[in-house]
A and B are shown apart, each in its own frame.
Chain A
Amino acid sequence: MITTITTTTHWTDVFKTSAGAIYQCDAERCWYVDFAGKVAKFDYRCLLKLRKAVYHIDIEQTLLNTTKDPDVEIIFICACDHCYVLSLLQIIALKELLEGTFVMLELNHILHERLCSIAS
């Protein structure tokens, strides 16, 4: 599924890698994940579910797996419109993207807290 973006709302870059990017939209209070050829919208709950799903994939185990199954993982998130079918390399890339994103969100949180404590 490829979503064509027609809205003019302002997006802030949260984190970017060569494989993809995650943007935050303050007006809609959501994140846009640009990865694997599509841009998907995630709200707070779904982004946390995506992180949990990706972090739970045992990459090492999949690498050591010698069966003939294709190394493809389907990431399906309950109550979310999007689904990813990713190869192992893509999963590693998505994990890196999400890790970076949450570090940046945490950093943003720390900055907000510090600014609040200075302002008060």
Chain B
Amino acid sequence: MKDLLRIKSLISTEIEALLNQQVKKEALSSSIYLSMASWCNRNGYDFSSDYFFKQAEEERVHQLKFYKYILDMGGNAISPEVTGIKQEYNSFREVFEEALDQEISVTQSIKNIYARCMKEQDFVTMEFLNWFLKEQREEEYKARRALELFEVIGEEGTGRWQIDKNVGQITYNSEA
């Protein structure tokens, strides 16, 4: 008896479901960043707004990478429904705190998929996920660095204006 399931799809149903969940998560991240970009823009933090626009774009690219991978492997990619995006924030700092929370949750979610791949010995998907793990290093670094600016510059006086200016310049170029 032929292994028809394997002929049709490289990834298992469980991995496919997890990858589809990740598609949704990336779409959610993208929308959250877009909402943050709007809030920053409305409140006069233009550099931060640009930073979040870029982040929203990046998350969208991640979403499509997962989406196309599922299709390429013979799976069924599901276009996600994204609702309930928070539109208002209490402070400038809160925006960045939530951005870091979001990145941490994405990292955790990718780790979970990786763990499942290890269990199933799905080395193909593991290799695909390696790029994302490296990407998360950068994403978390940038989010953490932005929050650090609140500590080192301080919010008093023209502090927030200084923080906003510096957020746009955060880059991650580690050789590691």
A interface residues with partner B (beta carbon < 8 Å): 12, 14, 24, 26, 29, 31, 44-45, 48, 105-106, 108-109, 112
Bound-complex Cα distance A108 to B5 (A): 9
The reply to whether A29 and B2 contact each other, CB–CB distance below 8 Å, is yes
A109 pairs with B2, CB closer than 8 A:
no
A14 / chain B contacts, CB cutoff of 8 Å: 1
| Candidates A29, A45, A48; contact of B13 at CB < 8 Å | A48
A109 touches B1 (CB 8 A): no
Interface residues contributed by chain B, number (CB under 8 Å): 11
Q: Contacts of B2 on A, CB cut-off 8 Å?
A: 24, 26, 29
Q: At the interface, is chain B mostly helix, strand, loop or mixed? A: helix
Complex alpha-carbon distance, A44 and B76, angstroms: 12
- In the complex, whether B176 has a CB less than 8 A from a CB of chain A is no
- In the bound complex, CA of A63 to CA of B123 (Å): 43
The reply to whether B3 and A109 contact each other, CB–CB distance below 8 Å, is yes
Task: Say yes or no: B4 contacts A105, CB within 8 Å.
Answer: yes
Residues of the A chain whose Cβ atoms lie less than 8 Å from the Cβ of B8: 44
Q: Does B7 contact A (CB under 8 A)?
A: yes
Determine the distance from Cα of A17 to Cα of B69 in the docked complex, in whole angstroms: 37
B6 contacts chain A at the CB level, 8 A cutoff: yes
Cβ contact within 8 Å between A29 and B7: yes
When C-beta atoms are compared, the residue in chain B nearest to A31 turns out to be: B4
Question: Roughly how many angstroms separate A101 CA and B76 CA in the complex, as a whole number?
Answer: 21
Q: How many angstroms between the C-alpha atoms of A105 and B8 in the bound complex?
A: 13
Question: Which residues, 1 to 53 on B, are CB-close (under 8 Å) to A?
Answer: 1-9, 13
CB proximity of A113 to chain B, nearest CB, Å: 8
Nearest B residue to A110 via CB reads B3
What are 23 sample pairs from A and B whose C-beta atoms fall under 8 A apart? A12-B1, A14-B1, A24-B1, A24-B2, A26-B1, A26-B2, A29-B2, A29-B7, A31-B4, A44-B4, A44-B8, A44-B9, A45-B76, A48-B13, A105-B4, A105-B5, A106-B5, A108-B1, A108-B3, A109-B3, A109-B5, A109-B6, A112-B6
